[in-house]
Structures are given as structure tokens and as C-alpha cells.
Structure 1
């Protein structure tokens, strides 16, 4: 029987060319902050405890050692994001054995830069997308955007069975680095964030595909706007980490996910693998405890974090890609947390 649910026909990732080794970033941060920020020596331990070995950036490390304003950050965002969008989308199309003109709709998720016209419009001719392609740009989802965007794309595919929906998420978190921002949140962000992109093709009404999107849902907690987000300031975005995320995740994510599973008429015993956004070592450990899955269970998450850092929205799709190459079990639940504060989830079924 042909399924009416959306299926992933392909999944691809892309990173920019510049490699930021954690030891080099720690040395740079020490040079820039240690004499100006009295708390830096204490906070600098975060560079060694993140679990990150290297990350990727759209700019070489020297670029970040000078003060930058909105025009320079935006120019770098547009150049880097367009290139990563095109690379990830092309890889996803190739894997699905489709041409750009076969795409009926594009969902674009990005929260680390401002682009109007939006990114998919900027690469439309470069990729060869049709002039009547539906465009759905989404801003503000942050780290949760990989799962939330996938949910939007899957529902769009299901509303038009047989159509091909391209979902692309691009985040250039490193461009938010600020020389003038002497805060704990800014130092932590300097130690965590990298750049990357991911793309996939979804279609409903067929039997082909990597996995089927079985169900999707979100849980937003009240009075949590201060946990994660951006302040829009004169020199650029300013990262918001007003409350520690790991203890909040440990206390709250498990019950929220159980509530979503119940809504989907599933029990936790029916989930073979959780695939989580790799936000940081402490967050990964907190999720293992909250989801009661055992320490070390989120091994793909730790591997992605080590090699790419926290790339915001694309990160969970990097984890999904690694998991599928290792062999997905019958049912996986994709999870990510983002500004709101929101947990976004998707249940994925492997073809039988």
C-alpha cells in the first residue's frame, strides 16, 4: 500500500572550507579577552570541556580578530550561506536522482543572518529552480530549526502528494562572534559554535525513501524566552543564554517528549533510538538522563559535536546522516531544542 506520509528521498550536508581547531580558537580568545575581561581565565575552561575538536567557518580565523559591524557580517553571511545552500541542495538532488527543475517547493531555515530576498531566491537561477517554485523561508527557530523545518517540509509534501519539497537549513553561527561582548554567554558561544548546512528532499505518496516522517510535534514551555535567542544590537547579534540549558533539559525534556509520544499513541519502549541535536557535551549528557537512555547512548551526537561543533539547526541532520549511514533502526525520534523555549520532535520510521 502506498503511504501518504512524507518520506526523505535524500539527505546531504555541507561545511565551509575554513577549519577552526579548538586549541587555536582558545588561544585566539585568550589573546583577545584575557586582559580585558576578568572572568575569562575561569570561563576559558569551557574550550577544553565542550567535547569539540574542530569546527568549520565561512571566514578564516584572522577575520574574527577585528571588530565587525552589520554590513560586513551581512556580506559574509550572504556569500557563505548562498554557497552552502547551493552545495547542500545539489548533493541532496543528486542523491535523490532529481534535477532542480523537479523541485516544487523550497523550505529554507536560517536564523544567523538576515537575507531579503531570502536565500532560496538568491540561488534560484544558480541552481536552476523553476520560476514557479513555492518559497517558504523561516527565521527564528534557532537550534530547533532542523527538526521544526523538517516538520514544515513534511507537512507541505503531504498536502501535495507526489510533489518534491526541498528543505535546506543553513546557519553561520561564527559570524555572531563579538570582540566587544564581554559576557559569559559570549565566551561560551565562542567555544561552541560552527557553520554548516544540511538539505533533504521529501515526497509523499510513494514507496521510495530513506525514512518516513511518521509524526511531528513541538512543546513550548511558558516563561522561557530568556533561555536562548538573539539580542539585536548595534554591532550585530548578541547571544542570549540567560539560564543554564543542561539542567533545564535534564528536568524538562523527558516529560515533554513522553507527552508527544502519548499524543502519537506511542510508548517510550517503541522508540529504538533517539537522535538529538548535539548542543554541547553537558546538554548531551542531560538528554541521556532525561530520556532515560543510558550514559553514552548518544554516540553519534558526540561524534558530530567533536568534528563540527554546534552548528545550530543543521546539527541534528548531521547526526541523522551519521546514524543512517550506520543503519537506522525501525523507529527513531529526532529531537532538538530552540528559542521559545521549545522542544521539536519527529518520529521517523525506516522502510520495512
Structure 2
């Protein structure tokens, strides 16, 4: 019996309706006492390629941002426990909204496996169980929770679905990525951490993966960890939420890796980047996308989808790549596509795809 080809049949995406991007810029500027640093931050915010970032955090008493009176951060930095309580309530709701936004939401009785990726919260029962209950999935469904892997978590979740379908041709896998990055605002008065926080927003995406030949066929999987890079991206659980460390060296290291013939060959399946007619790249930031474009030597418009997602939503950690793949599904047919994301390690994870 031939091994079936897994397909991403459809993707649904959801973001909250509270835009916190410009409120954060104002707050962050106030944290910097050095006028020169405030000027640098203002220039970087202007060049970030981000217009909006959305948050599950409720508006303040006056309808304003989470840092205004009555907002979540109005009285200082809440403890991790308060942030996790909000995560346990809001993450399943946003995930269920993403499932409802699928072009054809699956009948709960038809779903055989659930794979959930998230790195912005912890709860037990796990997010997978909370989502399964909200969706009315059978209690016997096989569940996998991909946790704390960062921005390439969706690749890992989709890879799990890929292998499930290859081993069980009748499987119908629901893959969900749900990230609430705005729960983790940190008290800081230094430039680099504030620039890292400038990037992140909330979002969730859901995909159905099966052997049914509709949507995007998934093929080769690839992964690589850059040597001596483990200090570049870190995500620490602290007393006031999760603290992100994102080194300014990350774009350069990614660009160097992609310029390497060996790594470039792995990404492009042994062909030239020019042979790839569709790119779904995790929009980790404008400088990340610039580094990918330069490292691969691809045309300026090759990453148009990823830049649009970054502009409209910011970096939603693992969910970002699935937002890009949703746009790919809505566009022209693909002969040879590449999905790739970067995260802690410093690691790159991805897979090839083509239209069914």
C-alpha cells in the first residue's frame, strides 16, 4: 500500500480586536531616560514594518490600552499566576474562533487527532484538553501538545500531523497554534528588550491535515540548528511572566546560514531559490525577513505575504507561519513552495509544499 501524501486542506486564523501597537510604543518610549535611546527606539519603531498588533487583554476602564487606568498593566506588572489565569481563559477561546474561521470547519466526530502548539502559557488540564472540550471533541481523541518551542512550534505541530497521516491514511488531524504574547509585558528601561517586545502580538490559527488531496501537499521536512547560537534567543519564565531575550545578532546569523550552499540546498530541496515559486516565512521581524531575502538572493516581492502578515498582525510567535500559509492557500497555484520558521536554538524548521 503506497504511503499517503499529507495535505493541509484548509487554514483558519483569528486575532483579537484590541490593537495595542501604538499604545506600547508610547509606553516604551517613556521607559527610556536617555534621549538618544528614545530617538533610536522611535526610528526602529517607524522602520519595524508593523502597523498593528492585537491583544486579548481587556481595554482599560476608559476604553484605552492595558497600561491605562483600569487596564491589566495599570498598577504595575502582574505576577505570572495572574497572566496564566488569563491565558487559560483566553487561549482556548481564540483557538476555537480560529477553528470556526476554517473554510470548512470539521465535524467534531470526524477529527481523529488534535495537535496544539503554544509557547506563551502553561495550564493543566492542558490547552489541548481545554480546546477539545470547547470543540466537543470525543474524549478518546489522541492529543499532542507542543509546548515552549517558540516561533517554529507550528512547523513541529504540522510535522506531527504529517507523520500521523502517513502512518494512518484515514486520519483527520486538527492542528492549532495559539499564542498570547501580549500577556508578557516586562518592566525594563533598556533598549534591546523594549525593541524585542515591540514585535509581538496575539493570534491563533487552525489547520486540517489529511490524506484528502485538497489544499497544499506537504513533502520533505527539514531542520537545522546553528552552531554556538543557543544564547541568541531565550525565553525565561519569571515572577512577572515570560521574559524574551532576542539578540540583535539573530538576523545576521540567519542570513549567513541561508547563504551557505549546504543549508540553502536543504531549504530548497537541492534546487536554486529561484525555482521556489512560493515562500511562507515566519515574519519574526522586518530585519529577519530582510536577512532571509538577502541570504537566499530572492526577489524583493518573494516575501510579500510574510511582510503583509507582519505589518497587519506583528509577530504572533508560532501562529505567524500558519497565517502566512493561509494566504498561500488563498492565492495562485504553487509548484514548489517552502515554509520555514526560526526560533530558540537558534534553529530553523520547515517543509516543502505544493498545490494539490
TM-score (normalizing by structure 2): 0.90
Alignment partner of 1:252 is 2:252: no
Cα shift at 1:292: 1.1
Work out whether residues 10 and 96 of structure 1, in 8 Å CA contact, stay in contact via their aligned partners in 2: yes
Alignment of 1:29-48 (within 5 A): 29-31=28-30, 33-35=31-33, 39-48=37-46
Measured after TM superposition, the shift of residue 266 of structure 1 is: 4.9
Indicate if the aligned counterparts of 2:80 and 2:238 stay in contact, CA closer than 8 A: no
Q: Is the 8 A contact 2:176 2:207 kept in 1?
A: yes
Displacement of 1:278 in angstroms is: 0.8
1:104 correspondence with 2:130: no
For 1:1-352, what aligned pairs fall within 5 Å after superposition?
4-20=4-20, 22-31=21-30, 33-35=31-33, 39-59=37-57, 60=59, 61-62=65-66, 63-65=72-74, 66-92=76-102, 95-96=103-104, 98-178=106-186, 180-204=187-211, 206-207=212-213, 209-255=214-260, 257-261=263-267, 264=269, 266-351=271-356
Post-superposition offset of 1:181: 2.8
Aligned counterparts of 1:18 and 1:199: Cα–Cα separation in 2? 21
Aligned length: 343
Quickly say closer, same or farther: Cα 1:339–1:213, change in 2 above 3 A.
Answer: same
* Contact 1:177 1:190 (C-alpha < 8 Å) held by counterparts: yes
Distance 1:275 1:88, change over 3 A: same
Write the deviation string for residues 145-164 of structure 1: whole angstroms up to 9, x where unpaired: 12222112211221111111
Residues 184 and 240, structure 2, Cα contact 8 Å, conserved in 1: no
Which range moves more in the overlay, 336-345 or 242-251?
242-251
* Contact 1:140–1:339 (CA under 8 A) maintained in structure 2: no
Tell me, yes or no, if the aligned pair for 1:12 and 1:88 is still in contact at 8 Å.
yes
2:88 alignment partner, SS class? helix
Distance in 1 (alpha carbons) for counterparts of 2:301 and 2:319: 22
Alpha-carbon distance in structure 2 between the residues aligned to 1:318 and 1:18: 18
Post-superposition offset of 1:232: 2.0
Cα offset, 1:124, TM superposition: 2.1
Q: Deviations over 1:180-225 (max 9, x none)?
A: 2333332012211100011101112x33x10110111111122211
| Deviation (angstroms), 1:129 | 0.3
Provide the rounded CA distance (Å) in 1 between the counterparts of 2:45 and 2:280. Answer: 25
Report if aligned partners of 1:52, 1:308 keep a CA contact under 8 Å in 2.
yes
Cα distance in 2 between the residues matched to 1:298 and 1:324: 15
Instruction: Give how far 1:245 is off.
Output: 1.4
2:69 counterpart residue number: none
Structure 1 Cα separation of the partners of residues 119 and 258 of structure 2? 23
Q: Give CA deviations for 1:97-154 in whole Å, capped at 9, x if unaligned.
A: 5211211111110001112221120132221101110010011221111222211221
Q: CA deviation at 1:35?
A: 3.9
